[in-house]
Amino acid sequence: MTAFTVLMLAAALAFGLAKVLKLPPIPLLMISGIGLRLLADQGMIDISDDLLREMTQIGLAMLVFTAGAELSPRRMRGRAKPIAVLAISQFFVLGTAGFGTALLLDYSVIHALYIGCALSASSTLVVVRQLQQRRQMFEPYGRLVLGVLLLQDAFIVLLMVALLKLPDGAIASALGVLKTMGIGVFALGLHKWLVPWITQRLQLDDEELMLGSLAVLFTFAGMAYLLDIPFLVGAFFAGFALSAFPMNGLARGLLGSLSAFFLALFFISIGAFLSLPSLETIGHSFVFIAVLLVVTIILVSIVAELLGYSTRAAVESGILLSQTSEFSLLLALTGLASGQIGGELFSMIALITVTTMTLTPFIARERIAWSLMKIHPRYKRGELHCETMTDHAVLLGYGRAGARSIRTLQQHGIEVVVIDDDAAVIRKLIEQKIPCLQGDGSDKEVLKRANCRRARVVLSSMRRSRDVILAINYLKDFPAKVVVNTFEHRETEQVRAMGGYPVETSQAAAESLLNWMEANLPKAQEAKS
């Protein structure tokens, strides 16, 4: 009981420091675990390995259970092909890159396999948290990323079972994979038919829902144990079985605090199990981290753009997926328990996982994506020199209404130049022989190249108000009218005060709806009478 109390105090201290220092709590939790191990080795506290092992297993079960509950396949409808292509490409290319790099660094084949598998999948919890904070869970690229995570988790679960059973022979390995697939099919059946039926037909209170969720978790863990595969595989598929709406939201809300509690103890226990890595191991860790970041961002950006996603969506997808997974820790723990890897390699995989998880919130920022987009290969051969154009219209951002705006302006005999930072949009415009420039609509040099000073009108659909302000400031002393698409009343007043002509989206949509109703409802009423 005393040892458990010490773990809880260490978790509270780590969370408190994380809040004060405004840092992610995971590395501080692991540092707390390392500190506890040093104190235990000095005989100052008594924490048994059995307790740490139990906390690790329980915490990891909650970790993969929570990850599975976030991955409902219903969110990915209509995107099966791009999801499959991107997931398979990233998983196998990144896994091969990690495997090859490990061989070059003189790791054994089995160790290189573990490293390659650990690098090949991205963290569901980290990515989902980022998408939720940005409110992008249901955007096209958000659904793409979630679909990729679901397939990657399924791949790594199967590979983990195959690696674990490999010492027993190829037949045992294949049989373990088949058993895992059987549990997956059973979970899919529950997800598709039973869980929605229960939530719709039975009026369950919060306590019953929580107990039911835990019962599903223990049932799947028991099935995995009986089938002689890691019980954590069962925990993942239990979460997947409950991932259907509205059960996933209910499970997340009811089990959120419980999950956070055990996850804190899990990362402290992981820290306590870590052996102090050598300088060579630390150096190798940073090599693998560099490979992970570079390969993931470049590969995902290229593949997603080829699949029809915009450059920005492709780059943001690559950044979001550039970390290792909680399943990497599960894989490493499984290999450590089976004796296939040692403590040094386990510590390296844990270091890579925690470091990349911690880095993601810092690199998955808008300005990082914009910086990467600026070095994207451009299509200047199709761009036009617009410095001599006059009395023309300039579109700052193609947006959803770009095609209609261009068509309307051209019908009135007004030449149009489009400025957009998305290389995919620029390529499309070049193919349509529409004058365009790739760049930032708030950049003075880009505005100068489009000769905005002599334009008749500048139409802005840029999302960030800061960019709009920069563009208006540049053009305020020139005759061009600046028409700005705004989203909030505050932005509308700000644009008007600066001399621009705001068009508030919500107001315009309401006026359009009212005009349509006035024009069509009387006709419908006459037809009915």
Residue type, position 164, single letter: L
Token code pair at residue 124: 């569901």
Token pair 């998408």 is at which residue?
Answer: 131
Segment 385-396 mean pLDDT: 81
* 430-434 long-range Cβ contacts below 8 angstroms, 24+ apart: 430/379, 430/381, 430/382, 430/383, 431/382, 434/406
Name the more confident of 251 and 485. 485
pLDDT digits (tens, 9 = 90+) for 211-244: 777 788 888 888 888 888 888 788 888 888 877 6
Contact between 407 and 400 (Cβ < 8 Å): no
Q: Which of 431-435, 442-446, 488-492, 513-517 has the lowest mean pLDDT?
A: 513-517
Contact between 443 and 421 (Cβ < 8 Å): no
| Mean model confidence pLDDT for the chain | 80
Token code pair at residue 437: 């420039």
Closest CA relative to residue 293, chosen from 344, 363, 204: 363
Contact between 360 and 323 (Cβ < 8 Å): yes
Is the pLDDT assigned to residue 256 strictly greater than 70?
A: no
Residue type, position 379, single letter: Y
Contact between 292 and 313 (Cβ < 8 Å): no
Q: What is the band of 4 on the pLDDT scale with cuts at 50, 70, 90? A: confident
Name the more confident of 286 and 247. 286
Name the more confident of 492 and 245. 492
Which segments within 39-83 are labelled E, that is strand? none
Token pair 């000095």 is at which residue?
Answer: 42
Segment 152-176 mean pLDDT: 84
Q: Which of 28-32, 138-142, 231-235 has the lowest mean pLDDT?
A: 138-142
Is the pLDDT assigned to residue 112 strictly greater than 90?
A: yes
Q: What is the band of 101 on the pLDDT scale with cuts at 50, 70, 90? A: very high
Phi, psi of 82 (to 5 degrees): -60, -35
Closest CA relative to residue 40, chosen from 56, 52, 28, 58: 52
Segment 499-524 mean pLDDT: 58
Q: What is the band of 248 on the pLDDT scale with cuts at 50, 70, 90? A: low
Helix axes 170-189, 140-165, angle to 10 degrees: 140
Q: What is the band of 294 on the pLDDT scale with cuts at 50, 70, 90? A: very high
| pLDDT value of residue 380 | 54
Distances (CA, A) of 463 to 347, 440, 493, 501: 44, 12, 16, 16
Name the more confident of 23 and 15. 15
Contact between 64 and 89 (Cβ < 8 Å): no
Q: What is the band of 527 on the pLDDT scale with cuts at 50, 70, 90? A: very low
Is the pLDDT assigned to residue 529 strictly greater than 50?
A: no
Q: Say how far apart CA 107 and CA 154 lie, in whole Å.
A: 26
Contact between 332 and 349 (Cβ < 8 Å): yes
Q: Say how far apart CA 101 and CA 3 lie, in whole Å.
A: 41
Segment 435-458 mean pLDDT: 84
Contact between 424 and 311 (Cβ < 8 Å): yes
Contact between 461 and 397 (Cβ < 8 Å): yes
Biggest CA-to-CA distance, the chain: 92
Contact between 375 and 438 (Cβ < 8 Å): no
Name the more confident of 441 and 67. 441
Contact between 144 and 82 (Cβ < 8 Å): yes
Which of 161-170, 187-196, 251-260, 345-354 is most confident? Answer: 345-354
Helix axes 326-338, 140-165, angle to 10 degrees: 0
pLDDT digits (tens, 9 = 90+) for 506-518: 555 445 545 555 5
| pLDDT value of residue 528 | 40
Q: Say how far apart CA 150 and CA 68 lie, in whole Å.
A: 8
pTM of the model: 0.73
Is the pLDDT assigned to residue 61 strictly greater than 90?
A: no
Q: What is the band of 96 on the pLDDT scale with cuts at 50, 70, 90? A: very high
Burial class (CB in 10 A: 0-12, 13-18, 19+), 44: exposed
Contact between 101 and 272 (Cβ < 8 Å): no
Q: Say how far apart CA 259 and CA 12 lie, in whole Å.
A: 15
Residue type, position 436, single letter: C
Sheet of 436-438, strands arranged across: 436-438, 416-420, 393-396, 457-460, 481-486, 501-504
Contact between 258 and 278 (Cβ < 8 Å): no
Is the pLDDT assigned to residue 295 strictly greater than 90?
A: yes
Token code pair at residue 227: 């089938």
What does DSSP say about strands 457-460 and 436-438: parallel, antiparallel, or unpaired? unpaired
